[in-house]
Every structure is written in structure tokens, then in C-alpha cells.
Structure 1
């Protein structure tokens, strides 16, 4: 199981999501994102792609207008990926830091 941390902006963004949006995000992360991290190949429906304006930062589509940005962090548990969640919300989060 990968480890993760959240940046302060992500935590603030997460609080602004509706309960249904939070459930959807958690569902997608646990049922799709985490298994795909293990294989190293992300399924097309997740639409994981790198951001051109921020090398090393990726965008994950978790709903039609739901996005989260993340990056790989320093491994905390040997052999497990570490994810740093940066932002979450609508497509509008891609215009901020």
C-alpha cells in the first residue's frame, strides 16, 4: 500500500468539496489509483497525465469535473510509492500554484 501526505492547500481544497465529491475521490483512489500505482500503468479512465507547466506534477481525473494534482515523494516504506497530494477540486485548480 502506498503512503501519502497532503500539502496544506490540498487539505483546504478537500474541505470545500461536498461529501459526495469526497466519497467519489476516495473511491477512485482506493479502487483504481492505488492498484494502478502497483503496476505502474494507469488505466485510461483515470486520465493521469503530467502537467507541462510543472514538471514532476501529475493530474488525476476522478470525476467529470474533478481533478487532483499529485507528485511522487520520497519513499517512506521500502518498496512502496509515496504520493504527495497537492490540490483537489474542479478543473479550475490547474490555474493555481
Structure 2
């Protein structure tokens, strides 16, 4: 079973989701994402892929995105194992497609 942690920005984003969105996200994580992480292969419906244009320090895994609803996105990356032999996921952002908007320059 994978282990998880949440970044501060994810926590702020999550609070902004409606109760229905929170439930839909939780259901997608429990029913699809967790089993897929454990298997090491993601089903096409989650549309897991690297986030374009995000550079990470050498040795870190890429920042990934997944789709949990028609306009529901979440970003995450693998972190250092917390429990031996189990993947560790760091949740970075959650919300609609706006989570990819870098904001004003």
C-alpha cells in the first residue's frame, strides 16, 4: 500500500473544492489511483503523464498529473520511500485545469 503526504499548496487547493468534488477526488484515489500505484501501471482513464515545463532537481522524479474528473486535475510526484518497498506519493496541487496556470508574471 503506497504512503502519501500533501504539500501546503495541495491542502489550500483541497479546501477550495466543493463537497462533491472532494468526494469524487477521494473515490478516484481509493478506487483507481491507489490500486494503480501499487501495480506500477496506470489505467488510461486517469490520463497520468508528466507535467510539461516543470523542471525538477537531478535525482527527483518528474511532477506528474492525473485526471480525476472532466475538469478535475491533480499533480503529484514520487518521493523517497517511507516504508520499505512501498511507493511514496507527494500530492502537490488539486483542482481544475487552473492549477497549471503559473499566474501573473
The TM tier, using the shorter chain, reads over 0.9
Cα drift, residue 16 of structure 1:
0.2
Query: What residue in structure 1 maps to residue 11 of structure 2?
Result: 11
After superposition, what is the alpha-carbon deviation per residue over 1:8-64, rounded to whole angstroms, capped at 9, x for unaligned? 000000000001100000100010001111111100000001012125000010000
Superposition pairs of residues 1-97 of structure 1, within 5 angstroms: 1-55=1-55, 56-96=62-102
Q: Structure 1 segments of 4 or more deviating over 6 A?
A: none
Instruction: Count residues with an aligned counterpart.
Output: 97
So what's the TM-score if we normalise by structure 1?
A: 0.96
Higher strand share: 1
Q: Which runs of 5+ in 1 are unaligned?
A: none
Cα drift, residue 83 of structure 1:
0.4
Q: Which runs of 5+ in 2 are unaligned?
A: 56-61
Which has the higher Rg, Structure 1 or Structure 2?
Answer: 2
Query: C-alpha separation between the residues in 2 aligned to 1:9 and 1:32?
Result: 23
